[in-house]
Amino acid sequence: MASNVDSNGASPTTVTDFKGPDFLSILQTPLFTFHIGEDRTPMKIHTGAVKGISDPLDAMMNNGMRESITGIAVLEDVDVSTFAGFCEYIYSGAYKTPAREALPDPQEAETEKENLFSVIEPPLKRRRYYPSHEQEYSELRRAFTNLTNRDFRVPAPRGLLDTHFERPSNPDMTFHAKVYVFATQYLATPLRIYALKNLYYDLANCPLDEESAEAVMDLLLYVYDNTTDVDEPGGKSFLREMVMTFVSRKARHRNIKEQLMQCAAEDHELLSDLLARILKSN
């Protein structure tokens, strides 16, 4: 189950904490079908599963909106794996971190490297639900501060996370970012905190070998292209702040430096933001 945030990065119990599902009540509620992604993959969850986690999704499924009448909604701007992670979380209080997919072969990997910084997908067009949620923002800021004050010390303790899932040796860190972006869009504050904690854990335990340095750069590009400095309720993106902070602190590492040099060859604008951050910290 998801736990209250403690000295490892969580906050005292509040009305927005996810205390775990009441399965007896949830399983008696109707099923609701989401059609996910461009392929409209059908995925069903109980209408009671999102209560206390996401007000916008709860309203969509239960409060008289058109979707609540038909029992069907289309979410084209989220992929199936991200939504599956969300479903795992709402039913169990945790999600399984997937392994990062390996590049197919050296020649294809080299081609992908050459195109990595020249083909950048535009940010997704997302509906935004940003009413006043000052308490939730304060909780998220407190969790973020507690995490980053640890300064990415290695190794991050397993106690930072409250999950029974085994973690892969090569975690897909971008998956946490996608879950966070989804949770931000639908105001699922407990899931945002949980995704931040998972991302921090994987960054702090990242060996920064050649493969994981590429994973960090994939993460950085995704975050830079899907968030802004003022992209969240209350102000700045804590996801963007965490990733940029990590990369700026590790910029002198040989493998990170090589990735940034490739980025510099493509004149990617994130380098100017990153350089400003590095200079400010010195």
End-to-end CA distance of the chain: 40
pLDDT at 103: 56
What pLDDT does residue 281 have? 65
pLDDT of residue 228: 81
| Backbone phi, psi, residue 169, to 5° | -70, -25
Domain range list for the chain? 23-92, 106-281
pLDDT at 2: 44
In tens digits, the chain (282 residues) has pLDDT values of 444 444 444 333 343 444 555 788 899 999 999 999 999 999 999 999 999 899 999 999 998 888 999 999 999 999 999 999 999 999 988 999 999 986 555 455 455 444 433 333 333 333 444 444 566 677 778 888 888 788 787 677 777 776 667 889 899 999 999 999 999 999 999 999 999 999 999 999 999 999 999 999 999 999 988 988 776 766 778 999 899 889 888 888 888 888 888 777 665 677 777 777 776 665
Q: What is the pLDDT of residue 24?
A: 86
List, for residues 32-69, the tens digit of each pLDDT value.
Answer: 999 999 999 999 999 999 998 999 999 999 988 889 99
